[in-house]
């Protein structure tokens, strides 16, 4: 269906939610439970929901006795392997409260830009949803070196939304919305609505997220929103702490209108 406004969110049939590392790791690991509460509520009303979750490397930091996010590739890969295991355990333990089973899906850019693995990923995702499993997607950072160095899961979430023909993509972060300038600056105003094709001229969009564990920021979210919107998926950007309200259609965050016509199967163009 076509999402015309936040009021349509409660009628969405297929939703992709993306959460960043800083929102569910370290001192914020406790936010997994309210996030799962919100996802379970959507699942309970019969909709299909996919979670794209960063956080594998950040989750591994205390288990590997690291001082912070590692700089060298080998340690990043090792941390991703350890952290992904712990992260999935945390999600599944929380989902157990609702009797929901999670399914792990690890993807690379190559999986979505080449026809055969892309088709395989789409088929697997569709089947998981049909079985009422909640897919939890992350980049395969243990082997995908390019994603560790340059990628971000905002873009991955947009491509997943495109892959599965989602009605809505919700991009979560530490900030409740996009603003006309960095929100800590005087005069910053919330951008409530972005019409399709709006270039946001004159808006100061920062490129960095909260320092320490994440790789994305407002710039990556806007870029991802444009990818998804062009494919026919509406997008809402808001804070992780507001996810329940967002999925109930509350007037929060920044809403990106989708293109009038849906376009799927062209993720390779977005990856170019």
Q: Which residues are annotated as a binding site?
A: 18, 54, 141, 153, 173-174
| CA atoms within 13 A of residue 35's CA, in its CB half-sphere | 30
CA distance 194 to 180: 12
What is the CB neighbour count within 10 angstroms for residue 68? Answer: 10
Per-residue model confidence as pLDDT tens digits over 215-237: 457 889 999 999 999 999 999 99
Backbone phi, psi, residue 103, to 5°: -125, 125
Cα angle 102, 70, 95 (rounded to 5 degrees) comes to 15
Please give the pLDDT value at position 199: 87
Q: Which residues are annotated as a binding site for ATP?
A: 18, 173-174
DSSP class of residue 199 equals -
60, 79 Cβ separation under 8 angstroms: yes
Give the pTM: 0.91
213, 21 Cβ separation under 8 angstroms: yes
Q: What domains, with CATH codes, occur in the chain? A: 6-271 (3.40.1160.10)
Per-residue model confidence as pLDDT tens digits over 100-143: 999 999 998 788 888 999 999 999 999 999 999 999 999 998 88
H or E element, residue 102: strand 102-107
Res. 209 pLDDT band, cuts 50 70 90: very low
Res. 56 pLDDT band, cuts 50 70 90: very high
Backbone phi, psi, residue 181, to 5°: -155, 170
Res. 196 pLDDT band, cuts 50 70 90: very high
Q: Which residues are annotated as a binding site for substrate?
A: 54, 141, 153
139, 175 Cβ separation under 8 angstroms: no
């Amino acid at each position: 269906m076509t999402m015309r406004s936040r009021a349509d969110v409660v009628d969405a049939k297929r939703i992709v939610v993306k959460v960043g590392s800083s929102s569910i790791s370290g001192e914020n690991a406790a936010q997994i439970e309210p996030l799962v509460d919100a996802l379970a509520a959507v699942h309970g009303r019969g909709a299909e929901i996919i979670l794209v979750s960063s956080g594998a490397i950040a989750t591994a930091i205390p288990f590997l006795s690291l001082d912070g996010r590692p700089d060298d590739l080998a340690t990043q890969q090792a941390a991703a392997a350890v952290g992904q295991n712990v992260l999935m355990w945390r999600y599944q333990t929380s989902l157990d409260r609702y009797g929901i089973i999670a399914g792990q899906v690890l993807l690379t850019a190559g999986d979505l830009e080449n026809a055969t693995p892309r088709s395989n990923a789409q088929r697997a995702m569709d089947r998981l949803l049909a079985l009422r499993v909640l897919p939890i997607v992350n980049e395969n950072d243990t082997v995908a070196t390019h994603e560790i160095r340059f990628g971000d899961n905002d873009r991955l979430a947009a491509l997943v939304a495109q892959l599965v023909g989602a009605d809505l993509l919700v991009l979560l972060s530490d900030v409740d919305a996009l603003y006309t300038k960095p929100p800590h600056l005087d005069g910053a105003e919330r951008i409530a609505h972005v019409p399709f094709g709006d270039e946001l001229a004159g808006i100061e969009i920062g490129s960095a997220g909260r320092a320490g564990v994440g790789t994305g920021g407002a710039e990556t979210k806007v870029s991802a929103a444009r990818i998804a919107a062009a494919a026919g998926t509406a997008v809402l950007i808001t804070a992780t702490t507001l996810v329940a309200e967002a999925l109930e259609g509350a007037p929060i965050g920044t809403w990106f209108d989708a293109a009038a016509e849906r376009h799927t199967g062209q993720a390779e163009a977005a990856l170019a």
